[in-house]
Each structure stands twice: as structure tokens, then as C-alpha cells.
Amino acid sequence: MKAAAAQASVPAPALLHQALASQAAAEFVMASGYDGTIIDLQHGEVGLEDACRMLRAIPRDRNAYAYARVGSIDAATILRLLDSGARGIVAPTVETAAQASALVTAVKYPPLGGRSLGPSRPALYDGEPYTDAGNHAVSAIIQIETRAGVENAEAIFATPGLDSVYLGPADLAVSHGLPGRGDWADGPVRDALVELSYLARGAGLTFGSYCASPAYAKALIEDGLVDYVGLGIDLVFLNRMAQDAITALRSES
């Protein structure tokens, strides 16, 4: 997500994490009103071939936030995802400027990075020259989710070609010895969120965070702390709906 895309008058985009390998689900996410998706190759059952098919299932006129989170910063995997239409790559557990630089190298065409030109979806990027258009259209997004990442944030955020920072609150909580949950109103995770939001904006980057509940996500947006949110996980939604349905069926009331 580009810093220039975050405007106060525009509602903050909401993205659904997808852990289920389903092209239909990718289509339904967009039809439901979500602004985009984060296809998760780090957790869940989505493999590279699945992710490429899911990206192609997202309508071309709605794919501005068609993101993929990789398991590691592997240039070959990232290239396949980008050529299938990913508009952003989220790299998890970034703790050093060198890792952020490796992500930019994999995501961006020269001179910013080292992405290779090759056959991809027709007219993937509009504009001339093509490589400049591609670099503008695709976001390099680092995920901060450890104490080390927070401590090194200023150096990481200074990486040329980086576009956005995404907070992983559950893993950050675990790194502090706390329960691995997403929504924190106080404590070290909340403190880190506020600090990272300030530092990211100061570096010309956008800032987002995963949120478990709509109320928490709305509060972060209204407080001006985030430019976008990851709101929920498809597998968790399915589990909750199934639990609600069977509980209602078997209730005695």
C-alpha cells in the first residue's frame, strides 16, 4: 500500500486474511464488501499454485489490495505471485534492514530492485515505462511482529523502496510473554503499535495492523493510528459460524 494512497477522506481499506485454498472464497471476499485480501502462504493450507489461482480469481478492477503473505523472503516464490497479479507482498517477522532490502529487491523492478521481467497476466500494469508502472503498482510490505523488529524499526523503515508496515500483534504479544491475541487496548503491544505508526508515517510509509474485531479496527482507524486493517481470518470466521449454528441447533431454549 502506497503512502500516497492513504487519504483522510477515503475510508481505510479492510483486508481479509485467507488461510483456505479456495478461488471461490477469494471471489466472495471481494463481493462481500472487503477492499482486498491477504492470501496467506505462511499459515494455513494455501500453497504457491493455490495462491496463484486465487489471485487470478480476483477481478482485475478490484485487485488494488490483492496481497499475499509469503512464508519467507524467497525471490522465486515472490516472482510467481507478482506475475499472477499480486499487488502487494507481505514479508513476515522482519527484524533487520537487510531483510527489508531483500524484500524490495524481490518485489521491485530495477533500479529499485531486481525483479525479472517475464510472461504474466496481460497488461498487468498500466503506464510507461512498464517497469516504473509496476514499481508504483506493487507494494513491498514488511510485517513487524517481534520485539527485535520494534527495536530496529527506524533502521528498517529507512529501506529505499519500502512501501508499508504491517503489525502482527499476536506474535508480538507472544514475544513479550503475553497471550497470542490480536486486539490490545494497552500494554507493550499497544505501545508498539502507537510507536510504529508514528515512525512509519515519519518515514513516508503507510501503516496497518491485523485486528480480530470490527470494533477494535474501527477504533484504530478513528484514532488515526492505521491507514488500513487486516480484519479477521476466513478459517476463524467459518469456525465461529459453525459453532454458532450447532449451538443454536442444540440449545434447549
Q: How far is CA 5 from CA 77, 161, 207, 213, in A?
A: 26, 15, 11, 24
Beta bridge partners of 89: 68, 140
| Active-site residue, 136 included | no
Q: How far is CA 152 from the centre of its chain?
A: 20
**Which stretch of DSSP H or E encloses residue 252?**
none
CA distance 49 to 2: 27
Beta bridge partners of 69: 40, 90
CB 70 within 8 A of CB 100: no
CA distance 178 to 180: 6
**Which stretch of DSSP H or E encloses residue 36?**
strand 36-40
Helix, strand, coil percentages, rounded to 5, for the chain: 45, 15, 40
CB 10 within 8 A of CB 219: no
Q: Kindly give the pairing relationship between strand 14-18 and strand 228-233.
A: parallel
Q: So which residues are the catalytic ones?
A: 43
